[in-house]
A and B are shown apart, each in its own frame.
Chain A
């Protein structure tokens, strides 16, 4: 089973990790876990003034920070995983593309990002993934 857990660093995304940990033995082995973080692309103006490598390192640092807590939980349980960071404007489309390209079997993700207010204002990533992923999506609240 190939599992994808999109991580935005929020508490709900961590609960998705907990859910995977809790039922990892229930999945058909070999279980392959992918953590995925999407960093929002900076605007072109910024690229005109800041070195490309600098921007990439910035995204890497921010992505690593968002992934840190999720990685720590999996590390603590000794569960192997792969962590990915992508830069894009639209997180949902990255998740969907990853599912299709890597032939992911199931997506486990938080039902919403940081807080109830965010849920109303954000335009839900979860909803878009649910609509377009084409594989089972487990939402954790």
Chain B
């Protein structure tokens, strides 16, 4: 396939792997944690069934995403969503709202994994569709990379990103860049840019990348200043306390 020979193909593939890495961490950790309270034999089953269904769901979602992105104007909507997702990556948001409920059995764990994957793979699917720009090969490769990341990495990706925050910053910038690329190729904007402002083809993605990182860092600094006075909660002391009833 001649598609493999071009440098833009490899660049797009690198981009896809990049967005897969930064957007799969949360998803993988949910799968790992949802199954944790089950007996070991059922843990494996929950992960296998949950992940299997999640794979199917991703394939369906990406087909929908690709067909939606062909409609005029929707690339702009997709780009706006991507920008939002990218900024969110950089802003710490105080975990443990604790809405989730403990899965006491196999069915419950699988349901949790499925619901979480439905919600959390949307950003990933959108990003893959955006980078692939209609190339089926890239779409398949994007999914092929993201699925094992979600299924097998468990908490590893999260730990790597905790240690190297620069990965998250780079990922957010990359998503901003992809969003910018999407804006200049929308059916509404493309003809005008082609005719009047060709330079936007390169300038807008770079601007979006810089903007995402700047806005994200600013919001993160603000959030940190606001959370500065939160009391320290030592969870080591509670290590042996019994589970709260539900």
Contact = CB atoms under 8 A, between A and B. Distances in A.
A79 interface: no
Which DSSP category, helix, strand, loop or mixed, fits chain B's interface? loop
Contact of A51 (B26, B98, B238): B98
B162 A42 contact: no
B101 to A, nearest CB: 6
A46 B239 contact: no
Interface in B63-111: 92-103
B192 to A, nearest CB: 37
Contact of B93 (A43, A58, A59, A98): A43
Interface string B232-243: 111111110001
A120 B166 CA distance: 10
A97 interface: yes
Contacts of A46: 26, 29-30, 33, 95
Given A56-B235, A64-B239, A50 B224 contact: no
B235 A47 contact: no
Contacts of A58: 33, 36, 155
Contacts of B227: 89
A2 interface: no
B235 A59 contact: yes
Q: How large is the interface on A (under 10, 10 to 19, 20 to 34, 35 or more residues)?
A: 35 or more
Contact of B234 (A40, A62, A85): A85
B166 A121 contact: yes
A89 B225 CA distance: 12
A51 B102 contact: yes
Nearest to B164: A121
Interface in B197-246: 224, 227-228, 232-239, 243-244
Contact of A54 (B37, B162, B239): B37
Given A40-B162, A50-B100, A53-B244, A85 B235 contact: yes
B200 to A, nearest CB: 33
Interface string A24-57: 0000000000000100111111111111111111
B165 interface: yes
Contacts of A62: 155
Interface string A70-96: 000000000000011111011001100
A10 B84 CA distance: 35
Given A41-B95, A48-B99, A121-B164, A60 B29 contact: no
A43 B26 CA distance: 7
A21 interface: no
Contacts of A67: 236
A86 B237 CA distance: 10
Given A85-B236, A114-B163, A42 B34 contact: no
Contacts of B120: 45, 49
Nearest to A98: B232
Interface in B97-143: 97-103, 112, 115-116, 119-120
16 contacts: A45-B119, A46-B33, A47-B95, A47-B97, A49-B34, A49-B120, A50-B30, A50-B33, A51-B98, A54-B100, A56-B238, A60-B235, A67-B236, A87-B95, A89-B92, A89-B94
